[in-house]
Amino acid sequence: MTIDIRLLRQVLALNKHRNFARAAESLHISQPALSRSIAGLEQSLGVQLFDRTSGGVEPTKCGQTVIDRGQDILKKERELRREILLIQGIEVGELSIGAGPFPFEISVSHAVARLITRNPNLQIRIDKDSAPAIVNRVLSGDIDIGVADIRHCEEFARLTVEFVFEHAIACCCRRGHPLAGRRSLSLDDLLNFPIVGTVMPPALAALLSRGHAAGRVNEDTKNFHPAITVDSLSAARNIALGCDALLPITPGCIARELESGDLVILDFTAPWMRYQYGFISRKDRTHSPAAIEFMTRMREIEEEAIELETRLFAAYSNFSNTSDGKALAAT
């Protein structure tokens, strides 16, 4: 009895979506074709894999066994393909990257553009996700390399973490915010307002959870979840522009808003206001030539980004809510 890899993918898709129409759509095949494939596999095995109900499908006990073993088989198939591509080198390689919101916007996409310019035959996939999710996906082998906050990696002995650069974070708000223009703000002043941004590591949870308005600590992960938790920096910018939420962000990500005066940098600094991200990979996986080349291009972009951030801090850290102050700071 032979089970085609293609059939295993179809079984896993049907288990994921629990609906023939949605599973077929995800596989880019017709619903009748998927139904015939599953029925043919069931006939070949001599068992029923899914119970059909009015609400969709549910795996049987035999079906769950096929699902569990199928996931292992497909994972090993991916590893085999990766090893072959690793031997072949960068010209025909593939690269899957997981990026946290900050590196995704600051440098990853720009680094990929330079990489593909030099190596146009590469196949590259970029997924944006939260730092904890990226760590898990690296460990599972779903992505080759992650670029995310390394403070989420402290407890994982199976990871290799290579520090890239440290970015200074500014606490920003809209031009008409009650705190805009005020001098010598304290952390308690900030925590009276909601924070909009990404999930933050446990190291910051005790500090930021002092204010109920700012956000809360997830009791399971111990991470700090801002009052408005979002993995899109463009969405975070729009939210901060439209309400009194505070936005912790690198100045380079809001250069246009700083130049227009729509967002301002508040008069607050602290040693922990840093974003430390790096390359995250599994210790038992050798970097492919494509991954090594990507990391090189990333370092180039990061150096340029740090230079821009330094200029923006110098120009717009005047803590003024007036256009005159902005003009003075830029001179």
Query: With pLDDT > 90 as the criterion, what percentage of the chain qualifies?
Result: 58
pLDDT at 331 over 60: no
Mean pLDDT over residues 66-73, rounded? 90
Q: What is the pLDDT of residue 330?
A: 33
The fourth-level CATH superfamily of domain 168-275+310-330 is Periplasmic binding protein-like II (3.40.190.10)
Q: What is the pLDDT of residue 209?
A: 85
Give me the residue spans of the domains in the chain. 5-74, 87-165+277-307, 168-275+310-330
Query: Pick from 286, 298, 293, 327: which is nearest to 164 by CA?
Result: 298
Point out which residues pair with 224 in neighbouring strands.
Answer: 200, 217
Per the model's pLDDT, the better-predicted residue between 82 and 178 turns out to be: 178
Mean pLDDT over residues 109-113, rounded? 95
pLDDT grade for 85, boundaries at 50, 70 and 90: low
Assess if CATH 2.60.40.10 describes domain 5-74: no
pLDDT at 78 over 80: no
pLDDT at 283 over 70: yes
pLDDT at 158 over 80: yes
pLDDT grade for 87, boundaries at 50, 70 and 90: low
Place of tokens 């922990």: 272
Q: What is the pLDDT of residue 132?
A: 87
- 211-223 pLDDT per residue, tens: 789 999 998 888 9
When the pLDDT of each residue in the chain is averaged and rounded to a whole number, the result is: 87
Mean pLDDT over residues 103-120, rounded? 93
pLDDT at 11 over 50: yes
Query: Pick from 274, 280, 305, 277: which is nearest to 111 by CA?
Result: 305
pLDDT at 324 over 70: no
Q: What is the pLDDT of residue 329?
A: 34
In this chain, the answer to whether the domains covering 87-165+277-307 and 168-275+310-330 adopt an identical fold is yes
CA 182 to chain centroid, in Å, comes to 34
Contacts of 56 (CB under 8 A, 6+ apart): 18, 19
pLDDT at 185 over 80: yes
Looking at CATH, the fold of the domain delimited by 87-165+277-307 is given as D-Maltodextrin-Binding Protein; domain 2 (3.40.190)
Question: Helix 20-27 crosses helix 5-17 at what angle (to 10 degrees)?
Answer: 130
pLDDT at 278 over 50: yes
Place of tokens 């994982």: 156
Please tell me what DSSP assigns to residue 241: H
**Do the Cβ atoms of 227 and 208 come closer than 8 Å?**
no
Q: What is the pLDDT of residue 2?
A: 65
- 232-246 pLDDT per residue, tens: 999 999 999 999 999
Other CB atoms closer than 10 Å to residue 154's CB: what's the count? 11
